[in-house]
Structure 1
Amino acid sequence: MSDELNDNYQRAYGRSVGFGQRPALILIDFAQGYFDPACDLYAGVDDALASALRVREAAKAAGVPVILTNVVLHPNGMDGGRFFEKSKPMRYFIRGNPMGDWAKGLVPDDDELVVSKQYASAFFGTSLAATLTSLGVDSVLLTGLTTSGCVRATCVDAMQHGFRTLVVEEACGDRHPDPHRANLFDMNAKYADVVSEADTIAYLAALRA
């Protein structure tokens, strides 16, 4: 981003909310299709998954709730509505399609919650907000795929549900660097703090003290 653009946004939006006191970690839609070059979902985001797994390890060591999301659709896609109609890759998330399975190296543990959704946001049409509230969570750490899609939608809804929202930069990915960077920039300006993996892990380690 140019200095002029940064200065412009800093003047209008330059505020940080910081980490919360009682976070939850959310891993958004780390599906196999994003990692398979034969699939048109492929995004080359192995580094994002590796980062998310490191953050997950730190979260679990700190006793922080870990929630994974996936997309699971009816065989005819009817519960995907207009999203299924518009977004061609949604066909990979029809129940039973291997491209919608968890990415290799990611298996939900028994103490982790899986939230299945049909739309972009992890909050839309799910019990996620109520679950987080019942756990006493005040903030969410977001990781996942894709930055411009389900991560952004979840980010906006997290803020709108009253959760302090942190997006872990290295633990998110997209099919091209431009939408990835642009959406991180915009989320950081308006809805969340975009934070580094290193700062996130240090924060989680401090919770253990």
Structure 2
Amino acid sequence: MTLRLPGRYYRLYPTIDSPLGHAEDDLELGLDDTALLIVDVYGAGFDDDVPEGLDGIYEVDEATRDMVRNKIRPVKDAARAIGLPTVYLTNYLSPGIDEGNEWRNMSQRVCDVDVLTAWKPPTPILEHSKVIAPDDDDVLIRKQYYSGFHETELDSALRNRGVRNLVVVGFDSRVCLGTTVTDALYRNYRVVVLRDCVSTFEFPETREGGWANFMAIRHIECNVGYTSTAEDFRAACATVDVA
């Protein structure tokens, strides 16, 4: 049985100055070799009651809250209805992080966040909101750095389940999600990112027009795989007869 999903990509030929632009393939994703990958949709800020401690870079804006509740959650429900496995990636404070760690030092100077204290559990920063928390039969992979494949069991978890295709949602389209899908390509997975289920932080210079996220999606369509939408994915799932 297959899931038929339109996959958008971007054509750079015949020349960089005059590219043909977007095109679509009619993708056929096997139900037995496809998984939903939810990247870094953590934080206790997506439920009705938002706890204290989610401020600064961890503050949840309304657009992101709406995306999680009204796009990503329904995508997960649609995937579950047709039997696709769901794999979560989430950050945690690994034993490999100490005061001399360069990633920790970068976080301090760029984000004013010391993960050695801010990420020490329990913390609402890394807890899952009830609306999108993993179910008992979902796969949860914890990572320290951006890519979900770096020093984790993600590749083994996918290959042990025969996964060949990844439908991907979550954050951040330039950083954690972006590096994870790039590493997925390196490992020969076919990637389909649901482009209305991802976002990135915008700089003051890119905020109007959402250009940082635009470029992240364009990069994926040019250099990694395909994109589609939550509506297309849910519609494709609705046509699958699993009775």
Residue of structure 2 aligned with 1:20, choices 4, 10, 29: 29
Unaligned runs of 5+ in 1: none
Which letter does structure 1 place at the counterpart of 2:93? L
Once the two structures are superposed, the pairs formed by residues 81-160 of structure 1 within 5 Å of their partners are 81-87=101-107, 88=111, 89=113, 91=115, 92-160=118-186
2:86 touches 2:138 (CA, 8 Å); kept in 1? yes
Distance 1:83 1:207, change over 3 A: farther
**Match status 1:38 vs 2:55:** yes
Which letter does structure 1 place at the counterpart of 2:102? R
**TM-score between both structures, scaled by the size of structure 1:** 0.84
Task: Please identify which structure carries the higher helix content.
Answer: 1
Residue in 1 aligned with 2:92? 72
Which letter does structure 2 place at the counterpart of 1:20? L
**Please, which moves more after superposition, 83-92 or 134-143?**
83-92
Unaligned runs of 5+ in 2: 1-11, 203-209
Residue of structure 1 aligned with 2:67, choices 24, 37, 48: 48
Task: Please identify which structure carries the higher strand content.
Answer: 2
1:58 touches 1:204 (CA, 8 Å); kept in 2? yes
RMSD over aligned Cα atoms: 3.0
**TM-score between both structures, scaled by the size of structure 2:** 0.73
Deviations 1:35-80 (A, max 9, x none): 6762323352113212111110000001000011111114893399
How many residues align? The count is 205
1:144 touches 1:151 (CA, 8 Å); kept in 2? yes
Residue in 1 aligned with 2:228? 195
Specify the structure having the higher radius of gyration (Cα): 2
Distance 1:82 1:206, change over 3 A: farther
